Amino acid sequence: GDLLGGGAEERATRKGHGRASGFFLVGSDAEIVVQLVHVGGQLVVRDHVDDAAVPVLMRQARAVAYPSRGEGFGLPVLEALACGAEVVTTAGTVMEEVADSAATFTSAGDSGQLADALRDAVNRAAGDREARSQVAITRAAKFTWTATADAHRDVYRRLAKG
């Protein structure tokens, strides 16, 4: 199975409903909130959501923004891709390796650029959104426990040979 437990394609095709029209923000970054308000639409702010709600929200989202200056592996981005969400995240981080061409990348700390990328995602035509969703699902499906174990085994073998 994939790294997130279960089939990415199955999770994405279970959505069976439209994308959300507003913005749902978890955490509190005032600068980003101000930029999102200028994007338009309803803004919902929460300090926390239950883990079980995260994939549901990601499947409903027009885009998932994950601005980060340093994430160990990029699991939040991978989870969003597995849900078929369009991801907007930070360039120059591990997210580029995880998402590859399946995400839109913005400069760290540039809230205006982030808002522009989110505006583009929200205004994208339905057919383009569906195509990007399939790219995201395909990218996430490449991350499996088997591939992870194989890569670790290969490193250990190379180290053992000296």
Over residues 4-16, the pLDDT tens digits come to: 444 433 333 333 3
| Residues 42-67: tens digit of each pLDDT | 666 677 788 898 898 888 888 888 88
**What local confidence, expressed as pLDDT, does residue 1 receive?**
42
* Rg of the chain on CA atoms, in Å: 17
Distance CA 85, CA 63 (A): 6
Give me the residues paired with residue 25 across strands: 45
Q: How many angstroms separate the Cα of 143 from the Cα of each of 27, 34, 48, 140, 150?
A: 27, 35, 27, 6, 12
**Which phi and psi (to 5°) does residue 87 adopt?**
-110, 135
- Model pLDDT for residues 81-113, shown as the tens digit of each residue: 999 999 999 999 999 999 999 999 999 888 889
| Residue appearing with tokens 């969003």 | 80
Residue type, 162: G
Among the residues of the chain, which ranges form H helices? 8-13, 30-39, 53-60, 75-82, 94-99, 111-123, 126-141, 145-161
